[in-house]
Chain A
Amino acid sequence: MQVVIIKYNAGNVSSVAFALQRIGIEPFLTDQTDEILAADKVIFPGVGEASSTMQHLRQTGLDQTIKQLKQPVLGICLGMQLLCKHSAEGNTTCLDIFDQQVLSFHSQPQPADKTAQQKIPHVGWNDFAKLRNADNILFKGLQLTDYVYFVHSFFVELGTYTTATTDYILPFSAALQKDNFYAAQFHPEKSGAVGQKILQNFIELT
């Protein structure tokens, strides 16, 4: 099993690599198109800023590589957002795998009472509700009461490809899926045993 992590100018790739090693997978970090295309599974992680990251992906041609992928792909956090159509972060045109918008929590209405306002970024452990995903094996074996770890200021609005929702300021997409593309707003690599199970489920996808 060859699992590739796409190497680009976004942060915290090592956490994903370590998480895979903990479940017995030795991932391969690369920015080479032929190696990415040949992988069994591709992980597109990311912590960073949308516009500079997209610019980097375009300059390196990785944007076209990602769009061609036919094997299971897992986008995480910024990786998920970049797989969407457009991000409000830096007014960025993204990869348009998922025809959904990335918006800022800051642009969402909050109560006038300061003490009642939700803080931004959304940081910490939150629960999620699974949608139309009796067939979504990414969440196989998980309980409704399970929590996952989020760190983000931008979110993907609800839409056609939303497979799980989380409520923070408003309900948003905790996970997306379309064909071979899977994505999580939360960080499975940091979500304890629950996150480990999600990564395991992704690795076991056929």
Chain B
Amino acid sequence: MLTKRIIPCLDVKDGQTVKGINFENIKTVGDAVELGAYYAAQGADELVFLDITATNEKRKTMTALVKRVAAHINIPFCVGGGVSSVEDVGALLHAGADKISINTAAVKNPKLIDELAAAFGSQCVVLAIDTNYIAQAWWVYLNGGRVQTSLHTLAWAKEAAERGCGEILLTSMLHDGTKNGFAIDLTKSLTDSLPIPVIASGGAGTPQHFAEVFKNANADAALAASVFHYKEIEMQPLKAYLKQEGIKIRG
């Protein structure tokens, strides 16, 4: 039986991991590859590296990071952050990434999803959606949560799935950094109506929150950053707890 996945997310700038609370107040934590290898050894099921380097050299630094990660880490990983073309994705996959997440570029040019799925297969195309709840609706946000769009989150996720994306990485900005739990209703609305897996992100504070998002929202995977980076939650006790709760977990 397919297991639910636990995914630590590493925000990376110039090869170092950083984590912002509500996308602000960035703080350096450690070497990205070293930390990723640590999580893999502890039993993480997958890793996400989000490159927030904002320089002209970005493409080079991202490819270099992917190569280092692929050489050292024996579990699947996804890389994202400003990826905007078929060429970008090709270079990152060639360097050893298993999946690529796209966000702003896909909203600006939805056909990119079709092109990537056709060129590399749906399995490696992850659509990241940053969303916030304003005036009784969930809206898609761009540029790391700074720009609101007129897209409804569920409608956008459905369109992306139809266009061939293989997975949705759903981050609730309302929940991110709060440690009060994942966006259960929102996540459930996506998992109920999409034919592709959904990774829930934003709000993890306790092991119970992971159990809730798997049991009550039927998330396929749950992603978190700070609680792992600051060792507030450790992989092995978390997985032992989830197994005890009757959730199918590896390890």
A149 touches B76 (CB 8 A): yes
Q: Could you say which interface size class chain A belongs to?
A: 35 or more
A124 touches B3 (CB 8 A): yes
Q: Is B130 an interface residue (CB 8 A)?
A: no
Contacts A11-B120, A14-B94, A192-B40 given; indicate if A125 touches B250 (C-beta within 8 A): yes
Q: Could you say which interface size class chain B belongs to?
A: 35 or more
Contacts A15-B96, A125-B250 given; indicate if A191 touches B195 (C-beta within 8 A): no
B1 touches A151 (CB 8 A): no
Give, as a whole number of angstroms, the nearest-CB distance from A135 to chain B.
27
B192 touches A48 (CB 8 A): no
A153 touches B123 (CB 8 A): yes
Stretch at the interface among B50-58, B67-75, B145-153, B228-236: B67-75
Give, as a whole number of angstroms, the nearest-CB distance from B179 to chain A.
26
Option from B2, B74, B124 in Cβ contact (under 8 Å) with A47: B124
Residues 105-134 of A contacting B (Cβ, < 8 Å)? 114-115, 117-127
Residue pairs across A and B with Cβ atoms less than 8 A apart, 23 shown, are: A11-B94, A14-B70, A18-B71, A22-B74, A49-B121, A117-B195, A118-B2, A119-B196, A119-B220, A120-B195, A121-B166, A123-B167, A123-B197, A126-B2, A147-B251, A151-B124, A152-B123, A153-B122, A153-B123, A190-B74, A190-B76, A190-B98, A192-B40
B interface residues, Cβ below 8 angstroms from A: 1-3, 5, 40, 45, 67, 70-71, 74-76, 93-96, 98, 120-124, 166-167, 191-197, 218, 220-221, 250-251
- Which 6 A-B residue pairings sit nearest by Cβ, starting from the closest? A147-B250, A125-B250, A14-B96, A151-B123, A125-B3, A121-B123
